Structures are given as C-alpha cells and as structure tokens.
Amino acid sequence: MAIMEVKNLSVIYHASGKRVAAVSDVSLTIEERDAIGIVGESGSGKSTLAMAILRLLPERIAQAQGEVSFEGADLLTLPAEKLNQLRWKQLAVVFQKSMNALSPVHKIGMQMTDVYRIKETGISKRETRSKMLQLLDMVNLPERVYDLYPHELSGGMMQRVAIALSLMHNPKLLILDEATTALDVVTQGQILEEMVALEQKLGITRMMITHDMSVVASSCNKVAVMYAGRILETGLVKDVLANPVHPYTKGLLKSIPSFTGEKRNIRGIPGSIPDLSVPNDGCIFAERCEHAMDSCLIEKPQDMVLPGNHRVACHLAGGAAYVS
C-alpha cells in the first residue's frame, strides 16, 4: 500500500529577482516499508524536495505546487494545526546537522525528555526516563549517554541521538537528509545496518537523501535519481543498479568506487548542473550528455516504463537506440 504519493511537485525559489526552479514536476510513490534513496549531486534539489514534503520551506521565498498525499491528506494544503499533529508522530526527519539544534548546556537525557513531552503529556517522569533509555538502547547507545552533554559525544553518537529523537513517537515515515554523510565510513556503515534492522522491527518507511550511491545500494530497496530538480530514473535498487539506463545514472555509478573493493578510477561526470533560473523545455541533462540528440534539446522526455516499474526519462530509452 502506498504510504505517500507525491504528484507533480514543483518548487520555485524567488531569489534576487530570479525564479529558481529547484524541483520540477516530481512524482513519486512510496510504498509502506520502502526504503527509498533520493540520490544526486549537490544542488539537484534533494533537500528542497524533502522540505517541500514536510512543508518546512520558508513561505516567503519558496513556492511549492503539486500534491503530497499522506494518510489520505494533502500535506501541502493541510491546515497548519493538523500538519503539526502529523509531524514527529507520523513524519519525522533527521538532517545532517540535526544535533546542532541541541543545547550545549543541558544533558542529553533531559533534552530528549523535553522534546518527548511536547507531544506526550500525562506521562510520569519515571516512565519517560525508561522510554528514553529504551530509545538510546535502540540506537545502540549505552545508558550513560543519558547523563552526558552533547560535547561529550562523538559524531556517530550524536547522529544516533538524532535518530533516537526522530523515532520517539514511532513515526510511519522517516526522512533522513544526509544524516550519515559526515561520519567515517565504518560508523556510517554500522548506523545504516542498525537502521535497516530497526525499521524492519518497527515497520518504518524511510526516505534517504544522499549524494552517495553506495549508501543507497547498502540500505535501500528503491532509488530515485535526481538531477537539476527532476527525477531522471527510478525503480528498484536491484534493477537500477544492475541495469542503469539513463546516461546520468550510468555516470553516477561509474563515479563511485567498485563495491567489490577492486581499484577503479573515480570519474566524475564532466560539466555541472545548469542554471535553474533559465527555463528548460528539453532534457535537463542534455548539455552534459554525451549521447544528446537534437530532440533532447527541445523536447522534455516522458517516463519510459520498463519491467518492475523501472522508469527512465530519456529519449534514448524509448528510441531505437535502446536495447533491453
């Protein structure tokens, strides 16, 4: 069953007299218990997409259009009070810098308790404490963390606390925006492994925002490849990674080191993301694409649907040049 359906979502930032099309016509279906990776290079609109879904964009400068249905409601038009009830309880988010929001002068346990009590009233101190210890244990932190100050924690421990906070009300959908990016590879791997085990136990659905395809490969079942505000390819991880069709996805996969550990040159994709304040009617990747044809410059490619609902927005995917 779909837990969230994003339909034709677009976000425009109004910045210094320009209209920046940060997210353009994005549609996504997230099924219950999916772990969907949103992957793409810096500036491709991943965070904007997450913020739009959560309606956290600054209203004065950002304008979102489209539909985000979640639990039968459209998050984009839901009255603020109803939306507040959903946040944390149903929908939770962890950012890369989530922990910066914590006060340096209060102990972790007390801060967790304060956050918990905003939504849960009428629960005794003892019960709350035991719930917080249980949460710490869930993310593999020892009890003593309850009595530590933020500066006494390592980066990995901090992110674990942030994840514990996001889980405190058993959310249905958890959005992680580069939540493990700043960590060393070993700690990141451990946290991802723990996340996967935890969400299987708790029945959580996860949206994982990252620029790192190997994070998606190791912790997600679905992937959406985003570039310059558009989703270029999406499908099951096993299909997209084994059979990438879009030239951009192929480039992204080439630019990460091999999973088997063999040495390979890390090759970036030449060029950079286009100016999003300039309207584009063709394929947004065309100017960097080594296979671009005339039609790519003037006509926006529609989604080509391959077996397994593997979707690709590329003229080549639908044309004669594509061999399955």
Ligand X SMILES: Nc1ncnc2c1ncn2[C@@H]1O[C@H](COP(=O)(O)OP(=O)(O)OP(=O)(O)O)[C@@H](O)[C@H]1O
The residue count for binding Ni ion (CB under 5 A) is 1
Q: How many residues make contact with ligand X (CB under 6 A)? A: 15
Place of tokens 């030239």: 247
Q: Does residue 121 belong to the site contacting ligand X (CB under 6 A)? A: no
Which range in 35-43, 63-71, 120-128, 238-246 contacts ligand X by CB under 6 A? 35-43
Non-local (6+) Cβ contacts of 124 within 8 A are: none
What one-letter code names the amino acid at 206? R
Single out the segment in contact with Ni ion by CB under 5 A; choices: 41-49, 51-59, 192-200, 302-310.
Answer: 41-49
User: Does the protein bind Ni ion through residue 188 (CB under 5 A)?
Assistant: no
Identify what 15 binds: ligand X, Ni ion, none; CB under 5 to 8 Å per kind: ligand X
At closest approach, how far in Å is the CB of 215 from ligand X?
A: 12
Task: Report how far residue 289's alpha carbon sits from residue 232's, in angstroms, rounded to the nearest whole number.
Answer: 13
Does 40 contact ligand X by CB under 6 A?
Answer: yes
Instruction: Specify whether the CB–CB gap between 289 and 211 falls below 8 A.
Output: no
Enumerate the β-bridge partners of residue 10: 65
**At its nearest, how many Å lie between Ni ion and the CB of residue 46?**
5
Q: Which of residues 161-220 bind ligand X (CB under 6 A)?
A: 211
Q: Which is nearer to ligand X, 181 or 221 (CB)?
A: 181
**Which CB atom, from 10 or from 47, has the smaller least distance to Ni ion?**
47
Decide if 30 contacts 205 (C-beta within 8 A).
Answer: yes
In whole angstroms, how far apart are CA 32 and each of 29, 36, 94, 148, 222?
10, 11, 19, 36, 12
140 vs 277 by CB, closer to ligand X: 277
Q: What's the closest the beta carbon of residue 22 comes to ligand X, in angstroms?
A: 3
Which positions ≥6 away from 115 have C-beta within 8 Å?
Answer: 165, 168
CA 249/CA 252 separation, integer angstroms: 5
Q: Of residues 47, 96, 111, 180, which one binds Ni ion by CB under 5 A?
A: 47
Indicate which of Ni ion, ligand X, none lies near residue 230 (CB less than 5 to 8 Å, by partner kind).
none
- CB nearer to ligand X: pick between 16 and 121: 16
Question: Residue 252 has what DSSP assignment?
Answer: H
Residue 48 interacts, among ligand X, Ni ion, none and using kind-specific CB cut-offs from 5 to 8 Å, with ligand X
- Interaction of residue 43 with ligand X, rule CB under 6 A: yes
Cα→Cα distances 100→118, 129, 140, Å: 19, 23, 21
- Listed ranges 15-23, 29-37, 146-154, 163-171: which one lies at the site for ligand X (CB under 6 A): 15-23
Q: Counting contacts by CB under 6 A, is residue 44 touching ligand X?
A: yes
Angstrom CA distances, 269 to 68, 252, 253, 279, 285, stand at 32, 7, 10, 23, 11
Please tell me the distance from the alpha carbon of residue 314 to that of residue 293, in angstroms, as a whole number.
Answer: 11
Strand ranges (DSSP E) for the chain?
A: 2-15, 18-31, 35-39, 62-70, 73-74, 91-95, 173-177, 205-210, 222-227, 230-236, 303-306, 310-313
Contact flags string 59-98 toward ligand X, x per CB under 6 A: --x-------------------------------------
Binding residues for Ni ion (CB under 5 A) = 47
Binding residues for ligand X (CB under 6 A) = 13, 15, 20, 22, 40, 42-48, 61, 211, 276
